[in-house]
Structure 1
Amino acid sequence: MSDIVLTSAVRENLLSLKRTADLQSRTQERLATGLKVNSALDNPNSFFTAASLNDRAGDLSNLLDNMGQSVQTIRAAGDGIESITKLVESAKAIANQALQTQSEYQRKIYSQQYNDVLQQIEDLARDSGYKGKNLLAGPGNELEVIFNEDSTSNLTVDPVDYTDTSLSGGLNLADLATGAGATSSFNLQGGTVRISLPGLQASSDLSSLPNWADNNVISVSDGVTTNSFTVGGSINTVQDYVNAINNLGGLQATFDEATDQIVIGSGLSAGTTLSISKDATGGGSETNGGSTATTVDTTLTTSALTAAATLINSGGFRVGDTITITDGNGFEPASLEIDDQTTVSDLVSLLNNIKGLQATFSGGSVSLVGEVSFSISSTNPDFNIGGFAMTSGPVGLTATGSEFKTDTDIERTLQAINSALDELRSAASSFGASLSTVQIRTDFTEELINTLEVGAGALIIADMNEEGANMLALQTRQQLSSTALSLANQAEQSVLNLF
Structure 2
Amino acid sequence: MPDIVLSGAVRDNLLSLKNTADLTSVTQNRLATGLKVNSALDNPNSFFTAQSLNDRAGDLSNLLDNMGQAVQTLRAADDGITSITRLVESAKAIANQALQTSSEYERRQFAIQYNELLTQIEDMAKDAGYKGKNLLAGAGNELEVIFNEDSTSNLTVDPVDYTDTTLATGLNLSDLATGGSATNGFDLFSGSGALTLTNLQASSNLTDLAGWVTGDRVLIADGSSTAVLTIGTDITTVQDYIDALDDLSGVEASFNETTDEIELKTGLNSNITITKDTNSGAGSSSATDGGASAGTTTITAGSMSATNTLVLSGAFQAGDTITITDGNDFEPASLEIDEETTVSDLVSFMNNVKGLSATFSAGSVSLIGEVSFNVSSDNADFNRMRLGSGVGTVSLSALASDFKTDTDIDRTLQAINAALDELRTSARSLGTALSTVEIRTDFTQNLINTLEIGAGDLIIADMNEEGANMLALQTRQQLSSTALSLANQADQSVLSLFG
TM-score (norm 2): 0.96
Aligned equivalent of 1:197: 197
Aligned equivalent of 1:236: 236
The offset of 1:381, in angstroms, is: 0.8
The offset of 1:181, in angstroms, is: 1.0
After superposition, residues 305-454 of structure 1 pair within 5 angstroms as 305-454=304-453
Specify the SS of the correspondent of 1:277. strand
Aligned equivalent of 2:138: 138
Specify the SS of the correspondent of 1:415. helix
Equivalent AA in structure 2 for residue 389 of structure 1: G
1:214–1:283 Cα contact (<8 Å) kept: no
The offset of 1:487, in angstroms, is: 3.1
Identity, % of aligned positions: 68
The offset of 1:472, in angstroms, is: 1.1
Specify the SS of the correspondent of 1:445. helix
Segments of 4+ moved more than 6 angstroms: none
Aligned equivalent of 1:277: 275
Q: Provide the C-alpha distance between the structure 2 equivalents of 1:313 and 1:319, rounded to a whole number of angstroms.
A: 10
Specify the SS of the correspondent of 1:359. strand
Greater CA deviation, 90-99 or 432-441?
A: 432-441
Q: Provide the C-alpha distance between the structure 2 equivalents of 1:219 and 1:434, rounded to a whole number of angstroms.
A: 90
Specify the SS of the correspondent of 1:481. helix
1:191–1:265 Cα contact (<8 Å) kept: yes
Q: Provide the C-alpha distance between the structure 2 equivalents of 1:147 and 1:393, rounded to a whole number of angstroms.
A: 79
When the two chains are superposed, the root-mean-square deviation of aligned CA atoms in Å is 1.5
Q: Provide the C-alpha distance between the structure 2 equivalents of 1:214 and 1:84, rounded to a whole number of angstroms.
A: 83
Q: Provide the C-alpha distance between the structure 2 equivalents of 1:101 and 1:131, rounded to a whole number of angstroms.
A: 46
The offset of 1:494, in angstroms, is: 4.2
Q: Provide the C-alpha distance between the structure 2 equivalents of 1:28 and 1:287, rounded to a whole number of angstroms.
A: 145
Greater CA deviation, 221-230 or 412-421?
A: 221-230
Q: Provide the C-alpha distance between the structure 2 equivalents of 1:70 and 1:109, rounded to a whole number of angstroms.
A: 42
**For 1:81-119, what per-residue CA distance to the aligned partner results, in whole angstroms no more than 9, with x for missing partners?**
111111111111111111111111111111111111111
**For 1:124-178, what per-residue CA distance to the aligned partner results, in whole angstroms no more than 9, with x for missing partners?**
1111111111111111111111111111111111111111111111111111111
Aligned equivalent of 1:180: 180
Equivalent AA in structure 2 for residue 35 of structure 1: L
Q: Provide the C-alpha distance between the structure 1 equivalents of 2:426 and 2:468, rounded to a whole number of angstroms.
A: 63
Aligned equivalent of 1:467: 466
Aligned equivalent of 2:296: 297
Aligned equivalent of 1:103: 103
After superposition, residues 33-72 of structure 1 pair within 5 angstroms as 33-72=33-72
**For 1:13-70, what per-residue CA distance to the aligned partner results, in whole angstroms no more than 9, with x for missing partners?**
3222222221111111111111000001101111111111111111111111111111
Aligned equivalent of 1:266: 266
Aligned equivalent of 2:147: 147
Q: Provide the C-alpha distance between the structure 1 equivalents of 2:461 and 2:292, rounded to a whole number of angstroms.
A: 139
The offset of 1:489, in angstroms, is: 3.4
The offset of 1:3, in angstroms, is: 3.4
Q: Provide the C-alpha distance between the structure 1 equivalents of 2:107 and 2:229, rounded to a whole number of angstroms.
A: 52
1:188–1:365 Cα contact (<8 Å) kept: yes
Q: Provide the C-alpha distance between the structure 2 equivalents of 1:233 and 1:403, rounded to a whole number of angstroms.
A: 55
Q: Provide the C-alpha distance between the structure 2 equivalents of 1:225 and 1:487, rounded to a whole number of angstroms.
A: 156
Q: Provide the C-alpha distance between the structure 2 equivalents of 1:65 and 1:232, rounded to a whole number of angstroms.
A: 108
Q: Provide the C-alpha distance between the structure 2 equivalents of 1:217 and 1:236, rounded to a whole number of angstroms.
A: 11
**For 1:189-238, what per-residue CA distance to the aligned partner results, in whole angstroms no more than 9, with x for missing partners?**
11111222233322233333334344332211111211222334322322
After superposition, residues 216-255 of structure 1 pair within 5 angstroms as 216-255=216-255
1:166–1:172 Cα contact (<8 Å) kept: yes
Greater CA deviation, 424-433 or 37-46?
A: 424-433
**For 1:358-380, what per-residue CA distance to the aligned partner results, in whole angstroms no more than 9, with x for missing partners?**
11111111111111000011101
1:217–1:278 Cα contact (<8 Å) kept: yes
**For 1:300-355, what per-residue CA distance to the aligned partner results, in whole angstroms no more than 9, with x for missing partners?**
12111111111111111111111110000000000011111111111111111111
Greater CA deviation, 252-261 or 325-334?
A: 252-261
The offset of 1:496, in angstroms, is: 4.1
TM-score (norm 1): 0.96
Equivalent AA in structure 2 for residue 245 of structure 1: L
Specify the SS of the correspondent of 2:19. helix
Greater CA deviation, 452-461 or 396-405?
A: 452-461
Q: Provide the C-alpha distance between the structure 2 equivalents of 1:347 and 1:470, rounded to a whole number of angstroms.
A: 112
Greater CA deviation, 311-320 or 214-223?
A: 214-223
Q: Provide the C-alpha distance between the structure 2 equivalents of 1:396 and 1:144, rounded to a whole number of angstroms.
A: 62
| Unpaired stretches in structure 2, ≥5 consecutive residues | none
Specify the SS of the correspondent of 2:194. strand
1:217–1:280 Cα contact (<8 Å) kept: yes
| Unpaired stretches in structure 1, ≥5 consecutive residues | none
Matched, 1:162 2:156: no
Q: Provide the C-alpha distance between the structure 1 equivalents of 2:272 and 2:163, rounded to a whole number of angstroms.
A: 67
Greater CA deviation, 445-454 or 410-419?
A: 445-454
Q: Provide the C-alpha distance between the structure 2 equivalents of 1:452 and 1:372, rounded to a whole number of angstroms.
A: 74
The offset of 1:246, in angstroms, is: 0.5
How many aligned positions are there?
Answer: 495
1:111–1:402 Cα contact (<8 Å) kept: yes
Equivalent AA in structure 2 for residue 280 of structure 1: T
Q: Provide the C-alpha distance between the structure 2 equivalents of 1:231 and 1:444, rounded to a whole number of angstroms.
A: 110
Q: Provide the C-alpha distance between the structure 2 equivalents of 1:487 and 1:80, rounded to a whole number of angstroms.
A: 86
Aligned equivalent of 2:289: 288
Specify the SS of the correspondent of 1:360. strand
Equivalent AA in structure 2 for residue 474 of structure 1: L
